[in-house]
Structures are given as structure tokens and as C-alpha cells.
Amino acid sequence: MTTTTTRIAIVTGAARGIGAGVAKRLAADGLAVAVVDLDEAAGKPVVEEIERAGGRAVALGIDVSDERAVRAGVARIAQELGAPTVLVNNAGILRDNLLFKMTADDWDAVMNVHLRGSFLMSREVQKHQLEARWGRIVNLSSTSALGNRGQANYSAAKAGVQGFTKTLAIELGKFGVTVNAIAPGFIETEMTAATAERIGVPFEELKKAAAAEIPVARTGTPEDIAHAVSFFVSEGAGFVSGQVLYVAGGPKA
């Protein structure tokens, strides 16, 4: 960090996958990190890893789609770590199905976590950012925002995240807050492994097929996304806002 003040970051969906990678990277960058997931215990191994490396972190269980839980959780983070001025909205779920098989519950569950969750967390954290006159919000979108078979709910939510990002960038910029989105391509996580299982394909086979379609000839890792988040969160990225960065191993529209 180039400042003398330790920044406090919140990463949602941080118990595993991309979120865990981001939490560990931000801690390595010198930020104190609130490792947020639905289950507090699930985040503790990530916290322990951060602490072993000399960082500072706490685990919290927050349902990001629950307004009261978000309000109470952010207040607890402010009390235990300090006022949070960095937010990474990463929490997400899949309820994939073709349109004619998709239930209203499948639709609502995905919208609630991805869109409502990003809204509630951002609204709560922006109070601290405005007080500090500095802040960073990074929202996780996806290449699925461009359309993906069997993901009408997820694609719509991830496209919505991009509009949400651009609007917050306009509203919050004058307060020293930047808001950007990262749209990952194929990343090796438990979520993509579960997708492979759902469609009946061995994970290694799915990764090999995906890599064959990616210009850099490999699939991504949580560390690839964490590196991009690290840039957006950095002090030097203060003139970059309202952007959607596709981290997918090749160009996307």
C-alpha cells in the first residue's frame, strides 16, 4: 500500500473459488479483509490462511440478499476491522436450466443473490466511502452476460450487474469512489466443476474443451481474477471507473 492508512475491504462469496482468491490477494496487497459468505464457518479457513501470511481478516456469515443481515454485517465489519471503503461483490449462485424448465424460484434466487445482493451491499458500504471521500467497488459479472444457453437467469443478472456498475460510477465518482466490473470467462472453481457434473462431463474434459476455444489456450484461475481486482482497487486506478473488463483469455464484445 502506498498510503499510511490500512484500507478495509469486504469480499462477498469469499469462502471459496474466485472470492477466496480475491480475499487472499487483497490481504497480500495490505488491506484488512472481511471474508463474507453465507456460512461464517466456511470463511474461516480463508481467514486462517490470510493470518498465517501476516494479514488481518475476519469471517462473517451474511445473506447478501437479506437487507437486515447486510446492515448488521457491515456494521459489525466497521466495528471489528474499521470502516470498509473497498467492496467486491462476488457472491453468486447458479440455477441453470433451459427457459421452459426454469422455475420462478430458479429465476428469483439468482436475481436475489447477484443483483439484489450487489445493490444492498453497495448501498450499505457507500456510506463509509462517502465519509472517507474515497472508495472502490468491483462487481463480478461474467461472459455469460453476452448470452449463454441454459442461463437466462444468470445471463440477465450478470448483464444487469454491468448496468448497475456504470450507473454507480456516474453517481459516486464525485465522492472519490470508482466502480468497475470484471467479467470472467471459464475459471476453474467448484462452480464450474459442478457444472461439469451436472452435464455429465468429466471436469478435466470440460476444461480441455474450453481451453481449445480460448485464444491463450488455457482456462482461467481465481488468481487471474484476483489480479484484475487488485488493479481496480489500487490507489493508482482512480481514473478508471464504469468499466467492464473481460478476463477471459481473449477478446469479448
Domains and CATH numbers, the chain: 8-185+222-246 (3.40.50.720), 187-219 (no CATH)
Residue 1 pLDDT: 39
pLDDT tens-place string over residues 106-147: 999 999 999 999 999 999 999 999 999 999 999 999 999 999
With cell 468499466, the residue in question is: 243
Task: Let me know: does 151 contact 144? Beta carbons within 8 Å.
Answer: yes
Please determine, for residue 191, whether its predicted confidence score (pLDDT) is greater than 90: no
Scanning the chain, the segments in alpha helix (DSSP H) are 17-28, 40-52, 67-80, 104-111, 117-132, 152-172, 190-198, 203-212, 222-233
Please determine, for residue 182, whether its predicted confidence score (pLDDT) is greater than 50: yes
Distant-in-sequence, close-in-space partners of 22: CB < 8 Å, separation ≥ 6: 11, 14, 88, 90, 222, 225, 226, 229
**DSSP-derived secondary structure letter, 98:** -
**Grid cell locating 25:** 490477494
The band of 5, judged by pLDDT with boundaries at 50, 70 and 90, is: confident
Residue 253 pLDDT: 66
pLDDT tens-place string over residues 193-216: 988 888 899 999 999 999 999 999
With cell 481496480, the residue in question is: 232
Residues designated as active site: 154
Kindly report the pTM of this predicted structure: 0.96
Element spanning 135, H or E: strand 135-140
Instruction: Note the Cα 151 to chain centre separation in Å.
Output: 18
Tell me how far apart the alpha carbons of residues 131 and 122 are, in angstroms, rounded to a whole number: 14
Tell me how far apart the alpha carbons of residues 183 and 139 are, in angstroms, rounded to a whole number: 9
**Grid cell locating 227:** 489480479
